[in-house]
Amino acid sequence: MQLYERSAALGLLDTLLRGAADGGRVGLIAGEAGIGKSSVVKAFAAACGGRAVVLWGACDPLVTPRALGPLHDIARQTGGALAEALAAGAGQSELFSALVAELSGPRQRPPRVMVVEDAHWADEATLDLLVFLGRRIERLPALLLVTYRDDEVGTDHALRAALASVPRSAVKPVPLTPLSAACVAGLAADHGRPGAEVFQLTGGNPLLVTELLAADRAVPATVGDLTRARLRRLSPAAREVAHLVSVIPTSAEAAVLAGAEDAVDECVAGGVLVARGDMMAYRHELLRRAVEESLTPPRRAALHRLALTRLALIEGTDPARLVHHARL
């Protein structure tokens, strides 16, 4: 996928790599799903050429997480002492030491770039690994890149505690912002679509923009798959809240969700909903529509009746909103 408006991020990664010989850093690449974290890292890896050896590891959303999954991925690429230690069932201390040796090596060889993708799904042992490396990275000729969905990492998430243990001097955030309205307008024009509408639906999320422009339907199938995957990880009560908010255009008042505060918090922690003042909403209108479209007609009608009942109790509710739910 072609990258747009990512030259600053790529430039920062290049700067971190060039400085790695004098002391490594931890590059944090955070953002919502679809913002382009993996795409930026892949583009950076391709641009490295022979200047660096890039080692890839990934965390997965498994019911039973694989302990040290990224380390297993990396050992398959490096072979040698690290792979032998894993095969022999070595303890954590020996494994971590073997990884440090792999990242060190002779000064004349290309530096190592270690990538840990989707760290929001990291198991406890992998979090220990990130802390261990992060606290030593400034003494290694290596660059550690960690990608994660920051909208799924709440204040109590274990990843936040792990990253807080790494010295601030060793950490460098690599910001990724949504595409600008002008960029989205240009892409939309190439597909004969109104730029303002595409931007309003996607908020400039690169994945959503790409999928929407490539689709021949109002809600691309891939976007529906993304939202359903997130909702499956919620409890039934939180899923109920997410479904209710999906039938309320724009955002839902706190009063509409009264009594479901814990479920709302779960939706926020899971990256499904965001707070906008004292209102709750989907981050992007396209995601809301995807969830609403996934509902069966009887279920959708029942949720509209519930929304109508609760909105009617709120003083000053715009009559047009009541009419909207009454018609549906």
Average pLDDT over residues 180-191: 97
Locate tokens 């960029």: which residue? 183
Q: What is the pLDDT of residue 72?
A: 97
Q: What is the pLDDT of residue 198?
A: 97
User: If we measure between CA atoms, which residue out of 62, 186, 45, 46 comes closest to residue 114?
Assistant: 45
Residue spans per domain, the chain: 7-173, 178-214, 230-327
Q: What is the pLDDT of residue 273?
A: 96
Q: What is the pLDDT of residue 21?
A: 84
Q: Rounded to 5 degrees, what are φ and ψ at 216?
A: -110, 25
The per-residue pLDDT for range 122-176, each reduced to its tens digit, is: 999 999 999 999 999 999 999 999 999 999 998 889 999 999 999 999 999 999 9
- Side by side, which strands form the sheet with 112-117? 53-58, 112-117, 142-148, 25-30, 171-173
pLDDT at 50 over 80: yes
Token code pair at residue 3? 């990258």
Whole-model pTM?
Answer: 0.92
pLDDT at 16 over 70: yes
In whole angstroms, what is the distance from residue 237 CA to residue 169 CA? Answer: 42
In whole angstroms, what is the distance from residue 154 CA to residue 271 CA? Answer: 9
Token code pair at residue 198? 């595409």
25 membership: H or E segment, kind and range: strand 25-30
The per-residue pLDDT for range 192-235, each reduced to its tens digit, is: 999 999 999 999 999 999 999 999 899 999 999 999 999 999 99
7-173 — its CATH code? 3.40.50.300
Average pLDDT over residues 5-33: 96
pLDDT at 2 over 90: no
In whole angstroms, what is the distance from residue 207 CA to residue 3 CA? Answer: 11
